[in-house]
Amino acid sequence: MSEPVLAANDQQREIDDLKARLAEAEETLQAIRQGEVDAVVVRGAAGPQVYTLHNADHPYRVIIERMQEGALTLTPDGTILFANQHLASFLDLPLPNIVGQKSGDFIAESDRPLFDALLAQDDRDGRRSELSLRSADGLAVPVYLFLADLPDEGQKIVSAIVTDLRWPKQRMRELTEANAMLVKTMAERERAETMLRQALKMEAVGQLTAGIAHDFNNLLMVIGGNMELFLARTSDQWLRRRIEASQRAVDRGARLIGQLLSFSRHQTLQPHAVAVNALLLDFEPLLSSAVGDGIRLKLVLSDRASVCQIDPTELQASILNLVTNAKDAMPQGGLVTIATEDTDVDGQPDSGVGPIIAGRYLSIVVTDTGCGMPPNVRERAFDPFFTTKDVGKGNGLGLSQVYGFMRQSGGHVTIDSAIGTGTSVRLYLPRTTVAADPAVRPAAAYIPRTEPRAQRALVVEDDRDVRELVIEALESFGYVAIAVENGPMALNLLDSGTVVDVVVSDIQMPDGMSGFELARSIRNRLPHQAIVLTSGMTRFAGVPDDAVPDLPILRKPYQCEDLAQAIDAALLAVA
């Protein structure tokens, strides 16, 4: 066959092929126009493009499967038509076990009524709520559910988006716990700062008190001592009455200074191993007398007789202070309870002032059924001179004295009180394993010496008025008194060969030598020299209480006869 004939045949076949393809395209377009095929024709730069429903739907299915929320479609009765893999992970089930099932089977039983109500609502804008799904292991999975209607040729299809709330709720719990911890920490810090401010205030007041106590005691010493000398030299009754009134005022002033020193923790304590329960039982008659008629006193003592290292006299004074305060808080009568119990402290007790060392304590709680304290009064209860009593009925030093004694003893004190509920004051006493000391017997009454007193006494005192008073008192007892102003002068006098029978020295003195240092220097030179130390202070910074343990310390203001008794005791100790 010739080449022209072959070319013509090829062209005809190509024309027939194009006609067939055109006819197929026409049929397809007609089917699309008539809705017989789910497809979309999109015109673009490359010409018309036909997309079938599968091609168009595939990207959306990928999006739904990759989204972080669960997705599903439901029939109006709750049958699941479709669910994505993320929803299956919520329920810990394979998809075949979900699709075709009733959605209510996967809702927590308590939330099914809520879910049914949401499903029944007709709201095209959607409805939403928080509920719980039930996973394969029975655990509740908190979710946020959004439902929306998808009408399809008259059929109602409901789509749902399910958001997992486990992580947000966990974070919320963690944040809530962290916030609670922060609030607690802030409260503890505020409480610690308040306690620190209070402790610093109390310390500052205590230092001020201790600083002026020496001078005030010297003043009272001069006034009281001269009143005593006047009284010994006059028989005028009018003058004697005036002098005796002045002496009573001096005694009150001395007690006031003593209370201030107790608050400032500058008193001299004599701690012993004390069986507190036994002490309270012995003290009960006096306490019952102190509360008076109309008020009942009750002791509730622990079975264990714990022993504490404490000054028994100061402890009794503190308890008497508390019982007296309790009585004043119950003018119409009531009950005062004193209870003891062993307590292990590992943190800061509530309502306390200042820090407390963790350890083993015995607590004594004095509780009344009185009027109680408002918060502003309770916060200032330990402040010196703070009182709610009428003028003349209290100096505001009772609780301050208790505070100072407990702090100086290594203990602690707290107050729990509110209006109308009464007050409880708790003392924390440090416990000890040492056996309790036998009951201390009262000191025998002083009997003046009948034999001649020592001939010579050396007085070491920097205050001129006190020095002159002591010389006058010693001479009235038959001593020959020599006086110097400070320790170095006294040592120079003794080193020069002057012989004295007793040295009477103040403790707080200028020129860098205290009475303790003077006493040690004298003992190094003269081991059997009788020495009496006196002071308006009761504790001394930088000097331990046992600096010279065998020396008596006479506290100012003292009476002349007290000085004579102290000298006799010092002479007897070195005899």
Is residue 52 in some structural domain? no
Highest mean pLDDT among 87-96, 200-209, 435-444: 87-96
Backbone angles phi, psi at 78, to 5 degrees: 95, 5
**HEC assignment per residue over 109-139:** HHHHHHHHHHHHCCCCCCEEEEEEEECCCCC
230 and 300 co-located in one domain: no
Output the DSSP codes for 185-244.
HHHHHHHHHHHHHHHHHHHHHHHHHHHHHHHHHHHHHHHHHHHHHHHHT---HHHHHHHH
253 and 293 co-located in one domain: no
Domain containing residue 138: CATH number? 3.30.450.20
276 and 425 co-located in one domain: yes
The token pair that represents 236 in the structure block: 């005028």
Is residue 449 in some structural domain? no
226: closest CA among 242, 243, 213? 243
Is residue 78 in some structural domain? yes
Q: Alpha-carbon dihedral of residues 539, 541, 547, 549, nearest 10 degrees?
A: 10
Mean confidence (pLDDT) of the chain: 77
Name the DSSP letter for residue 388.
Answer: -
Name the DSSP letter for residue 352.
Answer: B
Cis preceding-peptide flag for 557 (omega within 30 of 0)? yes
Chosen domain end from 218, 237, 263 = 263
| Confidence category of residue 63, pLDDT binned at 50, 70, 90 | confident
pLDDT at residue 59, as a whole number? 66
d(CA 37, CA 52): 8
pLDDT in tens, 141-199: 898 889 888 766 566 788 888 988 888 888 888 888 999 898 888 887 777 777 666 66
Domain containing residue 362: CATH number? 3.30.565.10
Q: Residue 251 burial by CB count (10 A; 0-12/13-18/19+): exposed, middle or buried?
A: middle
Range of the domain at 229: 190-263
242 or 486: which leads in pLDDT: 486
Domain containing residue 540: CATH number? 3.40.50.2300
pLDDT in tens, 520-550: 999 899 988 999 998 776 454 444 444 555 6
466 and 557 co-located in one domain: yes
The answer to whether 521 touches 487, Cβ cutoff 8 Å, is yes
407 and 283 co-located in one domain: yes
Distance of CA 45 to the CA centre of its chain: 80
The answer to whether 157 touches 75, Cβ cutoff 8 Å, is yes
Q: What is the maximum alpha-carbon separation in the chain?
A: 178
pLDDT at residue 459, as a whole number? 93
pLDDT in tens, 105-134: 888 888 888 888 888 887 766 788 888 888
390 and 501 co-located in one domain: no
d(CA 566, CA 446): 10
320 and 347 co-located in one domain: yes
Count structural domains, the chain: 5
Section 397-418 average pLDDT: 77
The answer to whether 57 touches 82, Cβ cutoff 8 Å, is no
Backbone angles phi, psi at 314, to 5 degrees: -70, -35
Q: Where are the alpha helices (DSSP H) in 308-440?
A: 312-328, 375-379, 398-408
The answer to whether 437 touches 272, Cβ cutoff 8 Å, is yes
pLDDT in tens, 258-277: 666 655 544 556 677 888 88
Secondary structure element (H or E) that encloses residue 574, with its range: helix 560-574
Residue 363 forms beta bridges with which residues? 341, 428
Q: Where are the alpha helices (DSSP H) in 34-111?
A: 53-66, 85-91
462 and 526 co-located in one domain: yes
Contacts of residue 485, Cβ cutoff 8 Å, sequence gap at least 6 = 460, 461, 462, 467
pLDDT at residue 458, as a whole number? 93
- Residue found under tokens 């230092």: 207
346 and 397 co-located in one domain: yes
The token pair that represents 366 in the structure block: 């004095």
The answer to whether 449 touches 443, Cβ cutoff 8 Å, is no
The HSE-up count of residue 188 (CA atoms within 13 Å, CB side) is: 9
pLDDT higher than threshold 60 for residue 554: yes
Is residue 298 in some structural domain? yes
Angle at alpha carbon of residue 292, lines to 290 and 295, rounded to 5°: 110
Is residue 42 in some structural domain? no
- Burial 83-101, CB ≥16 within 10 A → b, else e: bbebbbebbebeeeebeee
| Confidence category of residue 201, pLDDT binned at 50, 70, 90 | low
pLDDT at residue 270, as a whole number? 67
Is residue 439 in some structural domain? no
d(CA 400, CA 386): 9
| Confidence category of residue 255, pLDDT binned at 50, 70, 90 | low
24 and 149 co-located in one domain: no
Is residue 114 in some structural domain? yes
216 and 250 co-located in one domain: yes
pLDDT in tens, 446-460: 344 545 455 799 999
Q: Residue 528 burial by CB count (10 A; 0-12/13-18/19+): exposed, middle or buried?
A: exposed
Terminal Cα-to-Cα distance of the chain (whole angstroms): 165
The HSE-up count of residue 347 (CA atoms within 13 Å, CB side) is: 6
pTM: 0.44
pLDDT higher than threshold 80 for residue 474: yes
318: closest CA among 257, 270, 379, 366? 366
Is residue 243 in some structural domain? yes
